[in-house]
Structure 1
Amino acid sequence: MGGVTYVSAPPTTRPRLIATDLDGTLLRDDKSVSRRTVEALAAAEEAGIEVFFVTGRPARWMDVVSDHVHGHGLAICANGAAVVDLHRGRRIVRVRELPVGTALAVVEELRSTAPGVTFAVERTGGIHYEPRYPQFHLDPGALHAPVEKLLAEGSDFADQPVLKLLAHHTELVPDDFLALARAAAGHHAEFTRSSPSALLEISGPGVSKASTLALCCERRGVSPQEVVAFGDMPNDLEMLSWAGTSYAMANAHPAVLAATTHRTAANEDDGVAAVIERLLELPPAG
């Protein structure tokens, strides 16, 4: 790791909006936001550039950046399934849900294609797990039951829209699992991944970071050419392709490195901040 390396020059005109992923991109590996990055984000918004956090995280895990929001305070969460107001208690202001029938069709296909798969259901009110699904975070109030029960009309949480379905496999290689699942059930829903493990994130048809960002930008009269985006994992690919200018982190997945024309330093080296400093012609942080 080290200094910033650009494959080509940054935009010649100042963007109107910066869209950045969080884990592996804006956040350091310990999930903190460096002082340099906080200052760069503040400088961007002071210069009239909106900053959108665009992440696979649910709204309840946005505390890592809630203290660093300045202007508008909106974030795109759950890979585009929810737009969240960080100024108002991380309240969800827009939902693009995964229909329950679609989720059940995906479950059926994956159980047949990848025996041993386990599932979790992310709803607007929280996440619920199958008993063998690995729980990476403590989620008070989570229900543990077969996914068919978690998705049933009569479940305790049926009134809460489904944001995404999560599928985990203990034996498959992550990228192989993604390819297998897309081939088997990609006609039902959107499949992506952002975890180092074989964990797939499944959203409703047409729902992605890119499509929700596009909707938010359209409302603001912001064109793709006026957006600079940052990311590191496959769930960022559509967003990076949509934005007029995109940067892959030095630590990015090979598919992300191949899909972008610009590079910046790794998340541990404040790669997002380095680009913002250059865009704003700020002196590099010491």
Structure 2
Amino acid sequence: MGQMLQAAAQAHFGPGSGQPKLRAAAIDVDGTLLDSQHQVSEETAAVLKQALDAGLQIILASSRAPRAMWPILAATGLTEPCTFVASQGAFVGQYSASGQLHRLHQHMIPLTDAHHIVRLALSLGIPTNWFIGERWLVSEIDSHVRRESGIVGFEPLLAHLFTETAGPDKLMFMTGAENQHKLAELAAMLPDTVHAQISNPTYLEITRTGVDKAAAVQTLCHGMGIEPEQVVAFGDGPNDLGLFAYAGTSIAPANARPEVLGAATFHTASNDDHGVAQALKLILEHNERKNS
């Protein structure tokens, strides 16, 4: 464990720090929980089980669609009754151990606004990714879609999006680095009924206004009687900064974006060095001291 993590954690969680027992951990998935090969390490999975057994609520909070969350939840034992946040906060649910999806909350973009945004994207030459529940629809299958499909482990359906009769949970637009300026152009053209976030420099993710990972986690924690100071948030990207602002403690892996590292309470090791597991071990030790 790095000296930086030890020193910062000691200052934050050490005797006399006054920090309360933590009751929930909201954890981003890609770039945070998963390593650079998009896998959960055995060490991380083992520590997550320890945390669950110790009574810590684990909430995976991701921009991934529910179907792309399923293999991660199954691999880490975070199936029902554990709750997850997907599609950038637009979908909140649980998966049974057999893989059946149970929806708890769903906040869809109004259909007319979604179709308007698809037209704006077409005018800029950017294909649209349309997510609703477990469905992933695309206006075009290009190299970015094929790469994303390889990462999340399932394939989208090529569809005529203007025939959809219900708005999506999330719209996503992907470009190469040479065209990422088009994402900024699209974001500047959006109606005020939607909220746009850059999850990484070449991904623009759009949800209904007021919908994001932080709002979803806050609603879940409030429903469980958990106060913000009893929540720890883990994340590596700009779309995790809302979580950091909400939670009493925020932890960024060493591979996080500079602005995220700057906003974190303290840092942990990178996602390839089991950073989430290292930090969770310290949290469990802190909670144990609070119990004694």
* TM-score (normalizing by structure 2): 0.82
CA distance, structure 1, for counterparts of residue 131 and residue 168 of structure 2: 6
2:174 partner letter: H
CA distance, structure 2, for counterparts of residue 192 and residue 179 of structure 1: 10
Could you tell me how far 1:69 is from its partner in structure 2?
Answer: 2.2
CA distance, structure 2, for counterparts of residue 72 and residue 236 of structure 1: 24
Q: Quick check: which one's helix share is greater?
A: 2
CA distance, structure 2, for counterparts of residue 27 and residue 16 of structure 1: 22
1:194 match: 199
Contact map agreement 2:200 2:238 (CA 8 A) in 1: no
1:137 match: 149
1:219 match: 223
2:172 match: 166
Find out whether 1:85 has 2:94 as its counterpart.
yes
Find out whether 1:103 has 2:109 as its counterpart.
no
Cα gap change, 1:110 to 1:140, in 2 (>3 Å): closer
2:283 match: 279
Cα gap change, 1:150 to 1:92, in 2 (>3 Å): farther
The DSSP-based 3-state class of the residue aligned with 1:206 is coil
Cα gap change, 1:245 to 1:141, in 2 (>3 Å): closer
Contact map agreement 1:50 1:72 (CA 8 A) in 2: no
Cα gap change, 1:3 to 1:181, in 2 (>3 Å): farther
Alignment of 1:22-61 (within 5 A): 22-61=29-68
1:253 match: 257
1:3 match: 2
1:65 match: 73
Contact map agreement 1:241 1:260 (CA 8 A) in 2: no
CA distance, structure 2, for counterparts of residue 44 and residue 132 of structure 1: 40
1:120 partner letter: N
CA distance, structure 1, for counterparts of residue 45 and residue 187 of structure 2: 37
Cα gap change, 1:31 to 1:140, in 2 (>3 Å): closer
Which of 265, 273, 278 is the equivalent residue of 2:269?
Answer: 265
The DSSP-based 3-state class of the residue aligned with 1:229 is strand
2:290 match: none
Contact map agreement 1:97 1:164 (CA 8 A) in 2: yes
Bigger drift between 225-234 and 82-91 goes to 82-91
CA distance, structure 2, for counterparts of residue 141 and residue 258 of structure 1: 36
* TM-score (normalizing by structure 1): 0.84
CA distance, structure 1, for counterparts of residue 26 and residue 2 of structure 2: 22
Could you tell me how far 1:205 is from its partner in structure 2?
Answer: 0.9
Could you tell me how far 1:214 is from its partner in structure 2?
Answer: 0.8
Cα gap change, 1:179 to 1:75, in 2 (>3 Å): same
1:56-79 deviation digits (Å, cap 9, x = unpaired): 111111212323125732111111
Aligned-CA RMSD value: 2.5
Identical-residue share of aligned pairs (%) = 30
Alignment of 1:175-190 (within 5 A): 176=181, 179-185=184-190, 187-190=192-195
2:31 partner letter: G
CA distance, structure 1, for counterparts of residue 210 and residue 251 of structure 2: 23
Cα gap change, 1:106 to 1:4, in 2 (>3 Å): farther
Could you tell me how far 1:261 is from its partner in structure 2?
Answer: 2.6
Cα gap change, 1:173 to 1:4, in 2 (>3 Å): farther
1:175-206 deviation digits (Å, cap 9, x = unpaired): x555444433262311113345x221111111
Cα gap change, 1:278 to 1:171, in 2 (>3 Å): closer
